[in-house]
């Protein structure tokens, strides 16, 4: 389960298009048929910035990650991209995170002849507004430490007695285990709050709150683990699921009760990604 949470974290990257040089060395090969765990490690901002490795990762997830996509933009479980691969790449010293993502995009374009385009599509969206009694978001202190510089970092945590993650003192982020999620973060602008909510809600969120400045977020919610695994295309690989403990509020309820905000479901335009061409076997 921890590997799934790590993968979800990797899927929350911001979209970028900054140019960057290629990897110094890159190897892409099909994963072993018996491999189960999905994992990516290393790269800028991690414990090993010079080496990026992925094991048993579906091509769809590599695309999803490299282009910083949201769940409503592209489904990593798309039939076009179910092949699983192991990747090893040497990252040049001093590579920025933006350049690192561009290197991943270049690798996909060169090794898989990936071609894609974006288009607008009408879909369910949420408008995020103020609750009846106003927001419960706490304005960040003027001298608050800046928000995490690494939005893809998987935070350290332990599972608390209440069944939800607990972060070390002075640390935070979004983490979950057995369907119980906690989001604890400081000094976030509304744009970042909306981006995170969009990811976890699975549809575009449009900010109608009118809130300015930066805020501290503290909330927790639960999701159906079986549904989460189905969404990731991995339900058939997992046996009996562990007891997730008592059910808590849904994310929508937590937004209302804990943040003092409300979601209004509507139809609206959303940016989606269409795969025009991709090879099923990498070109080496």
Distances (CA, A) of 178 to 1, 217, 229, 238, 242: 7, 22, 11, 13, 7
> Going by C-beta distance under 8 Å and a sequence separation of 6 or more, which residues neighbour residue 125?
203, 204, 205, 206, 265, 266, 267, 268, 269, 270
Residue 31: the pLDDT is 92
**130, pLDDT greater than 90:** yes
Q: Could you read off the pLDDT of 211-263 as tens digits, one per residue?
A: 999 999 999 999 866 555 555 555 454 445 455 556 679 999 999 999 999 99
Q: Which two tokens stand for residue 272?
A: 């989606």
The pLDDT-based confidence of 173 (bands split at 50, 70, 90) is: confident
Average pLDDT, the chain: 83
Residue 160: the pLDDT is 87
Residue 78: the pLDDT is 78
| Mean pLDDT within 50-71 | 92
**3, pLDDT greater than 60:** no
Share of the chain above pLDDT 70, in %: 81
Query: What residue spans define the domains of the chain?
Result: 2-118, 122-270
| Mean pLDDT within 25-36 | 89
| Mean pLDDT within 67-90 | 89
Q: Could you read off the pLDDT of 76-86 as tens digits, one per residue?
A: 777 889 899 99
Residue with tokens 């009694």: 133
Distance CA 88, CA 52 (A): 6
Beta strand pairing status for 115-130 and 25-30? Answer: unpaired
Residue with tokens 């592209």: 74
Residue 19: the pLDDT is 38
Question: 21-30, 59-68, 178-187, 242-251 — which is least confidently predicted?
Answer: 242-251
| Whether the Cβ atoms of residue 87 and residue 62 lie closer than 8 Å to each other | yes
Which residues on adjacent β-strands are paired with residue 84? 58
* 3 half-sphere exposure, CB direction, 13 A CA radius: 13
Residue 259: the pLDDT is 96
> Going by C-beta distance under 8 Å and a sequence separation of 6 or more, which residues neighbour residue 261?
128, 129, 130, 131, 135, 137, 209, 255
Torsion sign (Cα): 202, 63, 220, 170: negative
More confident residue, 141 or 6: 141
Residue 76: the pLDDT is 74
Q: Which of 6-15, 51-60, 234-243 has the highest mean pLDDT?
A: 51-60
pTM of this structure: 0.70
Residue 148: the pLDDT is 57
Residue 58, class by beta-carbon neighbours within 10 Å (0-12 exposed, 13-18 middle, 19+ buried)? buried
Q: Which of 20-24, 35-39, 107-111, 144-148 has the highest mean pLDDT?
A: 107-111
**22, pLDDT greater than 60:** yes
Residue 243: the pLDDT is 52
């Amino acid at each position: 389960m921890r590997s799934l949470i790590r993968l979800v974290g990797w899927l929350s990257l911001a979209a970028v298009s900054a140019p960057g040089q290629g990897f110094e060395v890159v190897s892409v090969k099909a994963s072993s048929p018996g491999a189960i765990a999905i994992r990516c490690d290393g790269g800028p901002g991690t414990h090993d910035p010079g080496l990026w490795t992925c094991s048993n990762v579906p091509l769809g997830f590599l695309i999803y990650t490299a282009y910083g996509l949201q769940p409503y933009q592209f489904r990593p479980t798309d039939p076009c991209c179910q092949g699983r691969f192991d990747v090893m790449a040497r990252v040049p010293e001093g590579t920025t995170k933006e350049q690192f993502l561009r290197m991943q995009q270049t690798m996909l374009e060169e090794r898989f002849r990936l071609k894609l385009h974006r288009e607008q599509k009408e879909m369910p969206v949420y408008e995020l507004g103020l609750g009846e009694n106003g927001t419960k978001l706490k304005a960040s202190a003027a001298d608050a430490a800046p928000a995490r510089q690494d939005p893809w970092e998987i935070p350290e945590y332990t599972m608390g007695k209440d069944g939800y993650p607990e972060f070390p003192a002075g640390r935070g982020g979004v983490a979950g285990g057995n369907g119980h999620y906690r989001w604890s973060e400081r000094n976030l602008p509304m744009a970042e709050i909306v981006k995170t909510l969009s990811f976890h809600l699975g549809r575009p969120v449009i900010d109608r709150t009118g809130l300015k400045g930066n805020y501290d977020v503290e909330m927790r919610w639960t999701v159906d683990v079986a549904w989460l695994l189905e969404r990731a295309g991995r339900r058939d690989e997992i046996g009996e699921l562990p007891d997730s403990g008592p059910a808590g509020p849904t994310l929508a309820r937590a937004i209302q009760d804990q943040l003092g905000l409300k979601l209004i479901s509507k139809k609206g335009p959303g940016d989606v990604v269409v795969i025009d061409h991709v090879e099923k076997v990498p070109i080496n």
